[in-house]
Structure 1
Amino acid sequence: MDLIDKKSIEEWEDADRPNYFSNENLKYPYSELPFYDQYHLVKIPTKDEFVEHVDYWGEGRIPTNDGDSGFRDCYNVNRQYQCVSNGPDRDCKIPNRIPVYDENACDTSSYIKNHTVKLVTLMSAPIIEACARDIARIVNPVVGSVVVFGFEIDSPDIRRLVKELSAISMYYCPGYVLSDYFDGLMTFSHMAFLSSENIEKELYNAITAGKMDTAVAIAKSLHRTGGSSNIAKVVNKALNGGLESIMTFAYKLWDSGEKDIVTKNFPTAFKWIFNEDEIEIVSNHYENTKLKLDPTNDEWHNRLAYGTDRGNGGTTFSWVMLPIWKDDKVIFKLKNIEYNMHLRLDIHDNSAGDRKGWGSQNLDDVRYNWKLVPMNHGYKVVFIIVNCQYDQTLKLDNNVDKYGDRQLWGHNGMYYDIENFMWLVNKSTD
């Protein structure tokens, strides 16, 4: 043992006891003992199911002019002969300390049971591999979280932490808002790592609230660290609930260059739509009935829109959905390939308030804009197609004309039978 080590030990042994006036005394027996490694030690938690909070390299609450650092009521993992480094308790023993040998051998397995900590924090201290492994060992991957302060996302420290936490299905959650528990701390940039279940909640809530930049950032983080299945679960939940904003989320991913996320985690129809592939728009209610335009135009060169179950494929039934970003959401124009016309609703309605669907080459008003509401229906994904001008949903007439075709309408009023308003998006066939 060299002189510096001996001096450190002597200084620690002579140091004042921990300050349990400003810090809550958790009555842990190792705060004033050195690191014991393989001795038969009492591990926490002893009776409770979880340890609420462990601050890695923590020294207790330290007030500063710029706010506080550390916490009053948690266990502090630190070196066996480390004293409080600054503040009014400087050179005192660290309150509620769990000792590790040193920063290169930080292993708390003799003191803390596996996966029993609900919150692990770390403030502006190095995260070496041993530290990252130990954090991943103690945090509970189901209900736990890890919050670190003062790091850049592309730093080696964070890369080490990401590697270990991803292995237990915990992922970085961009934009995570800290709870009131963290009030009063110095202003640090923070990064939060959450369990699969909790990051799915954060992603779903961001999509629901229209916070698309946050939703895209969370999805990117999950995709890059092995959490793509969590994105797929959120997408499926949104489709089960008919969440309209899932369409905008998919568009923002696609438009930001994250096409792989859409391709891998959304139904295939989303890829066809945003890739502007030629598709067929098929009634889910009337089997094999596809949307088309009348081969005959009226005096203004417009063409009525119909659904027909006659014919196989080709450009007659081919459409392209053209996305438009407007008012912080995605809407579409529906373009027919055969006649190079876009779908709209009539200015005039019938006695029920319904409006006929037309193909036209005039694009100067909102009648040509549509929103898509996707949802799961049985084993299929269907779309409700709603006109932005009149808030009317596309449907086919219950009756057929002399050719066996059904007039396309925009429906006025409530959905009495939602089956009538569901459309499938299929890839066009030659």
Structure 2
Amino acid sequence: MELKGAVLLMCVLAVSANSTVDKEATDNIAAVETVNPTSVVSTVDSVSTEASVTLDNVTSNQSPSMSVVSKQRENKLYNLIVARKFDEAVENTISLYGAGWSNIIKQVIERLCDEGNSIVFDYSYKISISKAPYIARSCFPMAIRIHERMVFAKLINKRDGYALTYNNHVDFDGDRRVLGDPNTESRMDIGWWFVPHWTGDRLYYQMRPLRMAMFLKLGNSRDGDGDHTAYVSDDYSTNRHLWTIQPVKHNGELLFYIINREFDKLLKFGLSPVYDGYRIAYGHSTKDLNPHKFSWYIKTA
């Protein structure tokens, strides 16, 4: 009897234990099933969003590339120049050069030349008379530094290949007619000084031959074609004696228009040789920006 009682007690305990385990398992399964599926997705989305925000912050906080910084600095200098804020442009140029960014200065110069902007000469002049003239010598082409005291140039017409010179004979007004010389070899009578003349907020040039203190001008009257004849004269006090120079890129070459301030006319040579093969120089009747016909090489020495 005692043995049977013990066996019966063990069976009862085993059934009770199994019942408890099944209940715990059932309760655990129920607990899992009662979790809101949406809250699980929400938790995952929250982690994903946090990761995304962190990545965006890292990206936005990264330093810009050197090419981006270079372009920003180029645009800043360019904008100062074209706004004619030359004091600020000069200081910015000095800072760039001192920091080793001379390539940016050269890129701005190239950009102004590509655009045919005569302000590149104003910029060059302002750099030359600043506390850092060495920057002009380092960064600017010689043809844009013609205002410098020791620089003189030959002007050779693109279309004709003739050099600008003048007649040895004086007319009744004391002037000499300006001519085109087919001989472009290095000779004193085809060399010119470019005397800078800053007026208002821009640069003009008075152009004088090396041999004498006379200055290039256009005559007052027009001929039958509407052109003004070019002369050199002792006087240099009128707008007819002032000239601007405008760069132009043509077939990969850097060329220049020479434009009279008074009449806004382009310097040119006539088509027909006269005076023993020389051609007469004129201010063209219209401002026709045709580089093949009216542009010039500036050959410096």
Does the alignment reach a TM-score above 0.5? yes
1:391 pairs with 232, 257, 264, which one?
264
Q: 1:48 offset after TM fit, Å? A: 6.6
2:65 pairs with 118, 132, 141, which one?
141
Structure 1 residue ranges without an equivalent (≥5): 1-28, 30-41, 52-116, 118-137, 145-194
Residue in 2 aligned with 1:408?
281
1:284 pairs with 158, 162, 170, which one?
158
Q: Report matched runs for 1:204-353 at 5 Å.
A: 204-287=78-161, 289-310=162-183, 312-353=185-226
| Aligned length, in residue pairs | 252
Tell whether the 8 Å contact from 2:242 to 2:260 is kept in structure 1 after alignment.
yes
Tell whether the 8 Å contact from 2:77 to 2:92 is kept in structure 1 after alignment.
yes
Cα shift readout 1:271-322 (whole Å, capped 9, x = no counterpart):
34423422211112222x1100101111222100011113632211111000
SS state of the match for residue 72, structure 2? Answer: helix
Q: 1:363 offset after TM fit, Å? A: 1.8
Cα shift readout 1:216-275 (whole Å, capped 9, x = no counterpart):
121111001000001101110110110121111111111113222212221122234423
Q: Hey, which of these two has a bigger chunk of helix by percent?
A: 2
SS state of the match for residue 78, structure 2? Answer: helix
**More contact order relative to length (CA 8 Å, sep ≥ 6):** 2
Q: 1:352 offset after TM fit, Å? A: 2.7
Change (3 A) 1:48 1:419: farther
SS state of the match for residue 256, structure 1? Answer: coil
Q: Report matched runs for 1:370-385 at 5 Å.
A: 370-385=243-258
Q: 1:47 offset after TM fit, Å? A: 4.3
Change (3 A) 1:297 1:205: same
Distance in 1 (alpha carbons) for counterparts of 2:190 and 2:220: 25
Distance in 2 (alpha carbons) for counterparts of 1:276 and 1:353: 37
Tell whether the 8 Å contact from 2:264 to 2:287 is kept in structure 1 after alignment.
no
Change (3 A) 1:239 1:142: same
Tell whether the 8 Å contact from 1:276 to 1:322 is kept in structure 2 after alignment.
no
TM-score, length basis structure 2: 0.77
Structure 2 residue ranges without an equivalent (≥5): 1-46
Distance in 2 (alpha carbons) for counterparts of 1:140 and 1:45: 18
Residue in 2 aligned with 1:196?
70
Cα shift readout 1:135-185 (whole Å, capped 9, x = no counterpart):
xxx5223587xxxxxxxxxxxxxxxxxxxxxxxxxxxxxxxxxxxxxxxxx
TM-score, length basis structure 1: 0.55
Distance in 2 (alpha carbons) for counterparts of 1:207 and 1:45: 41
Distance in 1 (alpha carbons) for counterparts of 2:130 and 2:163: 32
Percentage of pairs with the same residue = 22
| Structure having the higher Rg | 2
